[in-house]
Structure 1
Amino acid sequence: METATTVLEQELLKKANEVTALLAEGKFIEAMEEYLDDNVQLFEGNNPAKIGKDFCLAEEKKLLDTVVAFHGYKVISGPAVKNDVTFYEAVMEFRTNDGTEHKFEQVVRTKWENGKIINERYYHA
């Protein structure tokens, strides 16, 4: 039996789609500036959290400074929503200035509060 989505869930799906649209264009900084809460916690797999919007932005800029070719960010499935959490599966590919080609297949779990991302974890393969 399917359950109807709530107004909150519909709004979060809209926001998740807005985020992934920016990421697909390579606009990672813009997405973070717009959607991260000031006290966000971001997790890469089982690594310790990166805490705070400013810190997360600084870390992302360091990574992006090494990227010489962006091949894409494609959502494979989702986003899906339950209560205040969204999920989606994506593939991101890029080359860094050391010549390494990177391909991240990931599931992204995002917890939202007041329209902002407060906690996000990236599960990589």
Structure 2
Amino acid sequence: MAVSAPVIFLINNISTMDFVQQVHHLYNLLEAGNPVEAMELYYHEEVAMQENEEKPRMGKAFCIQYEKGLMAQVEDFQARVLAQAINVEEEIVFTEMEIGFTRNAQRHLIREVSRQKWQDGQVISEKFYYKEVEVLG
């Protein structure tokens, strides 16, 4: 069966392929255990990040500082994308992830869904939805 070339549209001067590749690269960095690098590359200077209904964290520098603080407290960070939906036209990404880490000699697991709004090739807002952190032992 012949494989046809991908159809590429231009939306906001960004090709759909470029946008999808950026999203995939960000999540590849997360899965490789590099969330700070992903944020440095793909998060907007004025990003807003929110956990459930908590007050959003505002600004790339503050969000990166917060993430570095979290990562300093954990060992054996692992992230895995379970499912993802990318709306290229609206630049919105929904991702279901499973995140595991060890803190204080206990293994923790989070299953979450995030909603990202992208603008000009960067995440301008992100909200995480999850029930609780499960302690495995």
* TM-score, normalisation: structure 2: 0.80
| Deviation of the 1:74 alpha carbon | 0.7
Instruction: Answer 1 or 2: higher relative contact order, Cα 8 Å, separation at least 6.
Output: 1
Q: Residues 86-109 of structure 1: CA distance to partner in whole angstroms, max 9, x if unpaired?
A: 11111010001x223211101111
Q: Residues 43-84 of structure 1: CA distance to partner in whole angstroms, max 9, x if unpaired?
A: 1111110000000011011111111222x2111111422512
The CA RMSD measured in Å over matched residues stands at: 1.7
| Deviation of the 1:10 alpha carbon | 3.9
One-letter identity of the residue aligned with 1:104: I
The aligned length equals 120
Matched, 1:64 2:65: no
| Deviation of the 1:5 alpha carbon | 8.1
Structure with higher Rg: it is: 2
1:111/1:5 Cα in 2 relative to 1: closer, same or farther (>3 Å)? Answer: farther
One-letter identity of the residue aligned with 1:69: D
Partner residue in 2 for 1:99 = 105
Query: Distance in 2 between the 1:32 and 1:75 partners?
Result: 17
5+ unaligned residues in a row in structure 2: which ranges?
1-6, 132-137
Percent of matched pairs sharing the same residue: 27
Query: Distance in 2 between the 1:5 and 1:80 partners?
Result: 15
In structure 1, the residue corresponding to 2:105 is in which secondary structure? coil
One-letter identity of the residue aligned with 1:32: M
* TM-score, normalisation: structure 1: 0.87
1:110 to 116, 132, 136: 116
Alignment of 1:1-125 (within 5 A): 6-8=9-11, 9-70=16-77, 72-82=78-88, 83-96=90-103, 98-125=104-131
One-letter identity of the residue aligned with 2:130: H
